Amino acid sequence: MNKPLKYAVFGAGSWATAIVKMLCENLDEIGWYMRSIYTKEHLLREQHNPNYLSSVEFHLEQLKLSNDINEMATWADILIFVIPSAFIHSELEKLTVDISKKTVVSAVKGIVPESGLLVGEHFNEKYKVPFENIAVIAGPCHAEEVALERLSYLTISCWDSKKAQQIADSLSSDYIKTKISDDVIGIEYGVMLKNIYAIAAGIAHGLGYGDNFQSILMSNAIREMKRYIKRVHKMKRNINNSAYLGDLLVTGYSTFSRNRMFGNMIGKGYTVKSAQMEMSMVAEGYYATKSAYLINQNNEKKAETPIIDAVYAILYENKNPKKVFKKLTDLLD
C-alpha cells in the first residue's frame, strides 16, 4: 500500500496561512516552513499566526513547523511555495538538497525578478524540476475569505492531470471548490497580470474615477490579458474562465486586495516608497509590473498593453498618475 504523500507549505504570509488551513481540512500532518523563529514560537504557544489571519486557530498536532528550509524540503513530497516573488530567490538560495524529484506547487503571484522567469520556469531551469512535476494554484480566492470559511474557488493547473487532481483534492472542502487545468504557463501569467490591473483599478479609485470607468477598465483588462498571454504562450484557452477573469475581478474590486489598496494610495498621491511602508503586506503587482512590461518590450511581436504601460509609467518612470490616466481614458473602449 502506498504511503500518503507529505505536503509542506513554504511561507508565513496570509495566503500561506490560508493554504495551511485548507490542507488541515484533509491531512493529518502538514509541514510548514517559516523564516521567522518568532512566528514559529508564537504559533506553538498561541496556536495562530501572529501576523496574518490571526483568527485562524490550528491544531498543533497537525503541524510540523520548521525554520529550516532544507529540513522541510527533504521531509515533504509536495512542496507548496507561497513566498512573495520579490523574496523567493533569496529563500531558495538556502536550499542545498535536491528537489528535482519533488512535486513543486507555485502559489506565488509573480515573476522571479533575478531570473526574469515565471516561478515554474525558475524551478525547472534552476532546480531541474520537470514541468510535469510543477503545478500552479490560482483563484479567485482571497485568504481573508478562506479564514472566514466563505465559499471560495481554486484552479489547480498541472500538465499531469492526476497530480493536479490529487492536489485539488487535498485543498477542497465544504467551503473550497476546486477544478483542474493544463494551462500552467497561461494561468501563471494570468495570476501575475491580474495584480497589475488591480493596481490600475486602485489608482483609478484614488484619482476619483467612479464605477462606470472601473467597469470599462476591467473590460479592457481582460482583453489585454488575453492578448498578452496569447503572445507569450499560444494555446486554446477560454479567458473568461474563473482562473483568469474571475481572479481578475476579485483582485480588482475586493476591499481585501492589497494590490488595489496599493494603487489607491498611489492615486491619492503617495509615493511608491511611502505606500510600501504604509502597507503591512507585499503588493506583488508592483514587481510584476516591471517584469510584465519588460517581457512585452523584448517580445518580437509586442502585445498592445495600454494599461500595463500606464501603470509602469506611474510606478517606474515617476509619471503623474492624473495625466497618465487622462491619456489612458482615450485609449480604452
Q: Binding-site residues for substrate, please?
A: 109, 258-259
CB 18 within 8 A of CB 90: no
Amino acid occupying residue 16: A
Out of 194, 230, 273, 302, which one is annotated catalytic?
Answer: 194
Residues making up the binding site for NAD(+): 87, 143, 258
Ordered DSSP codes for 163-192: HHHHHHHHH--SSEEEEEES-HHHHHHHHH
Residue 113, preceding bond cis, omega within 30 degrees?
no
> CB 33: neighbour CB atoms within 10 A?
29
C-alpha of 169 from chain center: 20
Instruction: Respond yes or no: is residue 194 known to be catalytic.
Output: yes
Q: Residues of 99-125 as b/e, b for ≥16 C-beta within 10 angstroms?
A: beebbbbbbbbbbbbeeebbbbbbbbe
Which residues form the catalytic set?
194
